[in-house]
Amino acid sequence: MHYNIEIAYAVFSSTISLRSGLLIVTANQLILLDIALMALTVDKIRVSTFFLLVFVNLQPSALSAPQVPCFFIFGDSLVDSGNNNDLPTLAKVDYPPYGIDFRKGPTGRFTNGGTTADFLGELLGFDDYIPPFATAEGNEIIRGVNYASGSAGIRDETGEQLGVRINLNNQLKNHNVTITRIAGLLGSGTPELLNKCLYYFVIGSNDYINNYLVPEYYPTSRMYTPEQYATVLVQQYSQHFKTLYGFGARKVAVNGIGPVGCAPAMLARGTNGSACVDWMNKAVQLFNDKLKLLVDDFNTNITDAKFLYLSAMDLRPTELIALGIRFLSKPCCKVSNTTGLCIPGETPCPIRALHAFYDAFHPSEIVNRVVAVASYIELLKLLIL
């Protein structure tokens, strides 16, 4: 179902208006339309109270085309939709209790319901989920493909202690395969299509969690200071973007890394009285700051493309509390001491929307919804081009 959305007033004094049917946003604020619309009530606490000043009028519109013709997703377990299911790896979750709130059940998504990419696809107007590369076939690849792989990173070696994964380098190779397949379907119209697609990146956290922060497996923390490592990571990321640009990408959205030091698995290392492991978050922030500069540089020097840095992943504990989320560091499911993933077959917590994390690393569906809506608002900068 597609909707026309009218917002009369928004929190944080954001200024929002409608112009020619487009939602125009003049401030990047967190406006959780999904939860406001659902008027979600959890344990007698209305989560939408945080958005008390938000008025939303939903009207089904005529069936319209998505805001972009195709949506390509690159990343890690935060947006993996099943690419790891048949790989020899510990980083796969095609079993209950994953998918307990997802209409298709356990599909390989590392959460109880949908991922950020799933909800973002809905907001963009797609009437079905973007298929994973592992199973994508036929004409469905024309509307996009999801290449994301759990434990994957920007660096080739990241996550290898967990088993086989599809690193970013190989995700781009898979995208080149997709382009060849699309060309077989569309012929000369392929370049024009690719220029109009949205390319969405959610990757980098494993380059810390499953690389830099585990010196027993990787030497990177002995080779580089946090500042140097961030520089090297962004330089490698830059090369991948240039490759994608060569493939025809002209609208690229890049997520910063969220506060990995707030993940339950990381808290076990000690917080010194803080809500999170601050030194980890500071290391990640170095990467994010350099990534923003890279995006600015690309936009200055590549005039026929638009790159956008998305900050929505950077949700802090105080913001989660304001959303009505009560358990910031307690996973919803019972987790393995080895992997931090849900133990197969165990019953998860009854009220998932009260938990920020579903397992020891991955956010619950409610957090994914928040990030998706905030990302969509930021993405309007690309969509109106």
Asked whether residue 222 falls in the same domain as residue 158, the answer is yes
pLDDT in tens, 58-97: 233 335 789 999 999 999 999 999 999 999 999 999 999 9
Low-confidence winner among 42-51, 109-118, 151-160, 293-302 (lowest mean pLDDT): 42-51
Residues 183 and 288 grouped into a single domain: yes
Residues 129 and 239 grouped into a single domain:
yes
Residues 224 and 167 in one domain: yes
Q: Are residues 23 and 110 in the same domain?
A: no
Across the chain, what does the average pLDDT equal? Answer: 87
Our answer to whether residue 77 is catalytic in this structure is yes
Catalytic residue among 14, 34, 76, 77: 77
- Are residues 243 and 137 part of one domain? yes
**Of 208, 211, 333, residue with least CA distance to 260:** 208
**Residues 241-277 pLDDT 10s:** 999 999 999 999 999 999 999 999 999 889 989 999 9
Residues 221 and 284 in one domain: yes
Which residues form the domain of 45?
A: 1-63
Q: Are residues 276 and 366 in the same domain?
A: yes
Domain end position, chosen among 63, 95, 111 = 63
Q: Is the domain of 261 the same as that of 288?
A: yes
Asked whether the predicted pLDDT for residue 23 surpasses 60, the reply is no
Residue 51, pLDDT > 60, answer no
Which of the residues 76, 362, 364, 375 is marked catalytic? 362
Tokens 């008390």 belong to which residue?
A: 52
CATH number reported for the structural domain that contains residue 150 in this entry: 3.40.50.1110
Question: Which of 63, 94, 114 is the last residue before a domain boundary?
Answer: 63
Asked whether residue 121 falls in the same domain as residue 49, the answer is no
Instruction: Enumerate the H helices of 24-112 as residue ranges.
Output: 33-38
- Give the number of residues written for the chain: 385
The total of structural domains in the chain comes to: 2
pTM, whole model, 2 decimals? Answer: 0.87
Distances (CA, A) of 312 to 241, 315, 331: 20, 7, 21
Last residue of some domain: 63, 92, 117?
63
The helix (H) or strand (E) run that includes residue 383 is helix 365-383
pLDDT of residue 27: 31
Tokens of 143: 């509307």
Same domain, yes or no, for 125 and 174? yes
Are residue 347 and residue 370 in the same domain, yes or no? yes
Among 48, 314, 359, 364, the one annotated catalytic: 359
**pLDDT interval class at 385 (50, 70, 90):** low
Per-residue pLDDT averaged across 198-212, rounded? 99
Distance CA 305, CA 298 (A): 8
Answer whether residue 17 shows pLDDT above 90. no
**Cβ atoms of residues 317 and 262 within 8 Å:** yes
Q: Give CA separation, 347 vs 152, 357, 384, in Å.
A: 28, 15, 44
